[in-house]
Structures are given as structure tokens and as C-alpha cells.
Amino acid sequence: MKFVTQQEAIAIDEMFFSECSYSVDQLMELAGQSVAHVVFEHHKEARKVLIVCGPGNNGGDGLVVARHLHFFGMNVEVYVPKVGKSVLLQKLVEQLKMLGIPTTTSFVMKETLDQMCASSDVIVDALFGQSFRTPANDTFQEVIDSMIRSNRPVVSIDVPSGWDVEKGDIAGNGLRPEILVSMAAPKLCSQTFSGIHYLGGRFVPKIVSDRFGLTNPVFPANSLFIRL
């Protein structure tokens, strides 16, 4: 299995958008749907799932996860401390509100966030992704700290929040998720991850795999994820 650098991950995305004619929202939908299936597989009995979303594409993946889990019949709450400026992300937020999913779209007090995390059975970490540069600013680090303090199982999308994309949790204050769902290819940081690791999405064309020397595992039947 090849683990890719941050620059390789960015270049893979660029190839999806150019030569492969994928759109951002299409990849977001594929990624989010696969993560939703992972969450349901492991935590279908959860009374509440809290999804913490950042302002970038990783956060968009989380917003998609929320919608799919809602239609799976799960009780979902979404926290977006800062909504991204793109029309796509704003529309994803509006979709959740239209569905009646409780969605907070501004920073809340530490005590409030601690309560949101503590009252959930599982947390989906969609705060930062492959474009993250350490360290997190103080405001976002408080969000990470609340997730850590909750001692709830966490499912991270692509990169555990607070981790350097290549070196892992070098600052020592990142998340320690129960489950990591990598997209397209696992990032270098995931070599130090000791939990349950999946590859999700099932959307990588052979031309991309060949260009970057990726290992395309054989997904079981119609599954959207495979354990690494």
C-alpha cells in the first residue's frame, strides 16, 4: 500500500478535476457517502452522532455524511464553527437545515461545545483535511480539545484533525480517532495510526492509480469502503 505525501494528495485531486473531469461536489458526495457507511457499520446503535465540520472540503465531506446518516435513520447534530465561503458548502449547510438536522454555524463557548460532544455517542471529525498546515490556531484547537475531552469514539475523515499530513501528531495535541477513513490513498501520517483504518470512496480511475503508483485494493462486492 502506497502512502502519499501532501503534495501528491493535492496533485491527485487536481488530476481528478482536470483529466478525469470530476467536480468538487461529486468527489465530496462520494467521499461523504462512504464515510456515512463506515459510521453506520460501526455505530448503527448510536443515539446521537455529532459531526464537526471545518470550512474546507473536508468539512464539506462531513456535511454530506450528516445528510446520508439522517436518511439512514440516525440522530445527527452538526457543528460548523466557521462555514466556508464557497456556494457549494453554503448549499450543503442549507440542505441540512431544510431536513431539520440541528446545525450550529458559529463558534460556541467551550462549555457548550463540551456538552455537545459529551452528549454524543460518536463524533465524526471533518475539521481539517489534506491541506492542513500545523499548528491549528487557538480557536480551532479548542474544538479539537473538546472532542478529545469527551472521550467519545471518533471517526476521522482522511487525516485526524491536528495531525501533520505527513508526520502525524507531531504537536501531541491532535485527535486519537477510533477509525480513520482515508480517501483516494492513505496519507503518510496514517502510517503512525494504530486504530481501524479504511480506504473509502471507491472512485479512483486506473489512470490516476497508474500515474501515482497507487495500490487499488479489491473492494468487497458493492461496499464503498475496505479495511487496510
Which residues contact residue 67 at a Cβ distance below 8 angstroms, ignoring those fewer than 6 apart? 32, 92, 95, 96, 99, 101
What is the grid cell recorded at 8?
501528491
Task: Answer yes or no: is 158 a known binding residue.
Answer: yes
- On whether 114 is known to bind a ligand per the annotation, the reply is no
**98, 133 Cβ separation under 8 angstroms:** no
Cα radius of gyration rounded to whole Å, the chain? 16
Residue 18 among known ligand-binding residues: no
The arrangement of strands across the sheet holding 154-157 comes to 103-104, 76-79, 49-53, 122-126, 154-157, 179-183, 196-200, 225-227
135 is in an annotated binding site: yes
Ligand-binding annotation for 177, yes or no, is no
Cell of 70: 439522517
Angle in degrees, CA 55, 197, 67, rounded to 5: 40
Strands 179-183 and 103-104, by their bridges, are unpaired
The answer to whether 59 is a known ligand-binding residue is yes
Cα–Cα separations (whole angstroms), residue 176 to 102, 105, 139, 147, 208: 26, 25, 19, 10, 30
Angle at 31 between CA 218 and CA 157, to 5 degrees: 100
130 labelled ligand-binding:
yes
138 marked among binding-site residues:
no
Determine if residue 47 is labeled as part of a ligand binding site: no
| Known binding-site positions for K(+) | 58, 125, 161
Q: List binding-site positions.
A: 57-61, 125, 129-135, 158, 161
Annotated binding-site positions for (6S)-NADPHX? 57-61, 129-135, 158
